[in-house]
């Protein structure tokens, strides 16, 4: 039998003299080997967030400063994304444009989550005529294509990143409301919710303590997916000229500026578009991973 002193002894090296790896390091290595796409997606999103928060760390130059003698230079060591028709560094403008684009995206997702989450939570928990009225409003919103609804709203609200974000957020309310309502209906029938109501717990206490925490999982996964869709929507409206006016860089406006020079300087339009596509695809990959983790834990 192993003595008590042996139990506290450090692990002995194996036959080759190497100490066995710790479980945490083994799990990290397994994650890096079997999910390389997810690792790349996390790195891309982390880089975009860093560019939005501290753009000068990745691109210390002035995004509006240009050198006429360096107009339309192709991508190279001095200018990773080339230069535009005014001699401005495209990489610097893309990095500094991330803050405005992500600001609009965060506002859009916040509007959709707060408004859509409250509508779905109230409709699913209250039921009856409240559910009917709220869901008919949601059905009307779903019947209108989101881009057309966003265009109509931004035309009424006016131009600017914040107003574009609000328009995109209102157009996304219906999707969040449907998911929240479905999860609220599922959780409301659970045994612990029925037991809480049977012992006399007030409805708003049961809603806040039992229903909302257990229904928010799929909505959080949807929020990550909506984040990518909101980037596309905000960039699309900015591409059409509804965002912040030039020369302030924004991802959609950068693509719009470069389209006129696509035949002679493809990088002005193509590389900002690739950044948008990489960010959206990375967010979609992360949302798929979160959805799988949530389903396994449910």
Please report, for the chain, the start and end positions of each structural domain, with discontinuous segments joined by +: 36-48+82-297
Give the pair of three-digit tokens for residue 6: 């042996």
pLDDT at res. 293: 57
Name the average pLDDT for the chain. Answer: 82
pLDDT at res. 22: 55
pTM for the predicted model, two decimal places:
0.80
Burial profile 80-114: b = 16 or more Cβ within 10 angstroms, e = fewer:
ebbbbbebbbbbbbbbbbbbbbbbbbebbbebbbe
Give the Cα separation of 151 and 144 in Å (integer). Answer: 11
DSSP codes, 175-223:
HHHHHHHHHHHHHHTSHHHHHHHHTT--HHHHIIIIIHHHHHHHHHHHH
Are 120 and 177 contacting, i.e. CB atoms less than 8 angstroms apart? yes
pLDDT at res. 106: 93
pLDDT at 26 over 50: yes
- pLDDT-derived band at 23 (thresholds 50, 70, 90) equals low
pLDDT at 76 over 80: yes
Give the Cα separation of 184 and 178 in Å (integer). Answer: 10
pLDDT at 19 over 50: no
Q: Could you tell me the CATH superfamily of domain 36-48+82-297? A: MetI-like (1.10.3720.10)
């Amino acid at each position: 039998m192993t003595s008590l002193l042996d139990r506290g002894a450090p692990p002995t090296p194996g036959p080759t003299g190497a100490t066995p790896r710790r479980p945490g390091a083994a799990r990290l290595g397994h994650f890096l080997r079997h999910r390389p796409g997810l690792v790349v997606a996390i790195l891309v999103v982390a880089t975009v967030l860093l560019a939005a928060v501290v753009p000068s760390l990745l691109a210390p130059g002035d995004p509006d400063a240009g050198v006429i003698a360096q107009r339309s230079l192709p991508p190279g060591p001095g200018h990773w994304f080339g230069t535009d028709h005014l001699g401005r560094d495209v990489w610097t403008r893309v990095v500094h444009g991330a803050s405005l684009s992500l600001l609009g995206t965060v506002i859009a997702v916040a509007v959709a989550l707060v408004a859509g989450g409250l509508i779905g939570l109230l409709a699913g928990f209250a039921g009856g005529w409240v559910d009917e009225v709220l869901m008919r409003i949601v059905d009307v919103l779903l019947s209108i294509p989101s881009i057309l609804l966003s265009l109509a709203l931004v035309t009424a609200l006016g131009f600017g990143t914040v107003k574009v974000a609000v328009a995109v957020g209102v157009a996304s309310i219906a999707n969040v409301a449907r998911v929240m309502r479905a999860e609220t209906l599922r959780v409301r029938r659970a045994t612990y919710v029925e037991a809480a109501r049977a012992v006399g717990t007030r409805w708003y206490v049961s809603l806040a303590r039992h229903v909302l925490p257990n229904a928010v999982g799929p909505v959080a996964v949807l929020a990550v997916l909506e984040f990518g869709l909101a980037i596309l929507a905000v960039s699309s409206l900015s591409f059409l000229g509804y965002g912040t006016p030039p020369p302030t860089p924004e991802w959609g406006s950068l693509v719009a500026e470069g389209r006129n020079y696509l035949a002679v300087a493809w990088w002005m339009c193509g590389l900002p578009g690739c950044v948008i596509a990489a960010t959206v695809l990375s967010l979609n990959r992360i949302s798929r991973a979160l959805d799988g983790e949530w389903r396994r834990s449910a």
